[in-house]
Amino acid sequence: MILLPKNLEVWFLVGSQHLYGEAALKKVAANAQVIARAFNHAEELPLKVVLKPVLTGPDEITQIMDEANVAKNCVGVVTWMHTFSPAKMWIAGLKNLRKPLAHLHTQFNRDLPWGEIDMDFMNLNQAAHGDREFGFIGARLRLNRKIIVGHWSDKDVLAQLGAWMRAATAWHDWQGAKFARFGDNMRQVAVTEGNKVSAEIAFGFSVNGFGVGDLAAKVKAVKDAAADRLCAKYAEEYTLAPELRQGGARHESLRDGAKIELGMRAFLEDGGFKGFTTTFEDLHGLAQLPGLAVQRLMADGYGFGAEGDWKTAALVRAFKVMADGLPGGASFMEDYTYHLENGKRKVLGAHMLEICPSIAAKKPTLEIHPLGIGGKADPVRLVFDTPPGPAINGSLIDLGNRFRLLVNEVTAVKYPPLQKLPVARTVWEPKPDFATAAAAWILAGGAHHTVFTPALTKEHVENFADIAGLEYFLIAEHTTMCNAKRELRWNELYYQLAPGLGAV
Ligand code: MN
């Protein structure tokens, strides 16, 4: 599945005015072209940058913003004021803009030409105050926007712009996205519930339920030959347990697993879904709880949440879009169990089955083991470990009047062999320390279900939360319980008052 399509783009809007004459405007346009060309060759930027003609008046600014709103391939706009560009000219356009906005505060020349500088140079290179004028109107309009500061050739600036582009693309991907729920929520579970109408209004994606019988019919329709072909592919991609190999005592269970994958894939492709949920309480007509199928679909880019958890399914999808092309992968995850040795406390993350092999350290093994939950035949599943290194966990919860996105920075660590554990797993140490991280997470209501990714940083997710208008609660090196409590209390107030903080 293509997560970052090559035809997506961001628009580069450069502001000026007619005060300085045509020659200056020509120079502005030429300089902007140099920057746009450099952006289009920068490996940090995942999308095409499309430079628009220099903007010098309110009508053309309003028109370009209106065009951006309806341009299907435009995921956001980047603005920069090369010269002074009186910001009242931008009011109507910015009021109309419904795409993510990044304000690039840069300057064409990196260095001051100390011995040569004259008033022509001063008039041409005015971003230092032109971007402040633009910043005021952004503040006055209470606009959500990313502000990136530095020379356009700096690696740090490119990295920030790239992270914002990835977040804008994930937001773009959510608009009109469809998520399917096979069955409903796990009975009595609170955090996986939520208001799907509120989510569709806030985030642009829809979540709808389907009877598991509809899925079972798709699975039943899978031809034996197709299942055999997929089993052969499994044998190429994974190390198969001897009993699952062709001629092995339990090869038939692998064929059942292959049929579930093909049936699910057909269902999701036919309906144009970007993610899905399952629940072990509703498997009527399926031979096994879908394990291998879910793992492989996630690896292909589908969002997934277990036990009906559609919020996490949508978040897995968004993280996968942001992480596309970056090393490390992204997976549905659950804080499962702990190592509580003092000074070395860690979390073992896993699920009953459904961890994405995109985070695997090496070739997974394909195994079959009993599963006490679900009341079905033993499910096939991929088993693997994950490499050490920095990662983040993200969780999306519904607080009734709003959604909250939590992020915890963690470090995946090495761990002893887990010969008897028949599921994919990872082990991490949370920041700032185990006790603070767990206490802050619990105080903020973070779910046990998360998205785990070594591919992204807090910056990606913070950009995404800003674009989505989401409350963002970060647990990282800076976190203390005192500050966490205050932030959560202040947020309660802010999100009550925010709807009244208009631009008028
Ligand atoms: Mn679970």
How far apart CA 407 and CA 395 sit, in angstroms, is: 7
* Distance (Å) from CA 437 to ligand 1 centroid: 20
One-letter identity of residue 69: N
For 134, phi and psi rounded to 5 degrees? -65, -40
Q: What is the pLDDT of residues 445-471, one digit of tens each?
A: 999 999 999 999 999 999 999 999 999
* Dihedral of the alpha carbons of 475, 317, 396, 98, in degrees to the nearest 10: 100
Whole-number pLDDT of residue 503: 54
**CB within 8 Å of 189: residues ≥ 6 apart:** 307, 308
What is the full per-residue pLDDT of the chain (504 aa) written as tens digits?
889 998 999 999 999 999 989 999 999 999 999 999 999 999 999 999 999 999 999 999 999 999 999 999 999 999 999 999 999 999 999 999 999 999 999 999 999 999 999 999 999 999 999 999 999 999 999 999 999 999 999 999 999 999 999 999 999 999 999 999 999 999 999 999 999 999 999 999 999 999 999 999 999 999 999 999 999 999 999 999 999 999 999 999 999 999 999 999 999 999 999 999 999 999 999 999 999 999 999 999 999 999 999 999 999 999 999 999 999 999 999 999 999 999 999 999 999 999 999 999 999 999 999 998 888 999 999 999 999 999 999 999 999 999 999 999 999 999 999 999 999 999 999 999 999 999 999 999 999 999 999 999 999 999 999 999 999 999 999 999 999 999 999 999 999 888 777 654
Residues in contact with 170: Cβ distance below 8 Å, sequence separation at least 6, in sequence order: 317, 318, 319, 321, 322, 464
Q: How far is the CA of 349 from the centre of ligand 1 (A)?
A: 11
37 CA to centre of ligand 1 in angstroms: 47
Distance 371 CA to ligand 1 centre (A): 14
- Distance from the CA of 307 to the center of ligand 1, in angstroms? 6
How far away, in angstroms, is 407 Cα from ligand 1 center?
A: 18
- Ligand 1 centroid vs 285 CA: distance in angstroms? 22
Give 265 Cα–ligand 1 centroid separation in angstroms. Answer: 22
* Apex 309 CA angle, 162 and 285, nearest 5: 125
CA of 136 to the centre of ligand 1 (A): 46
354 CA from centroid of ligand 1 (Å)? 9
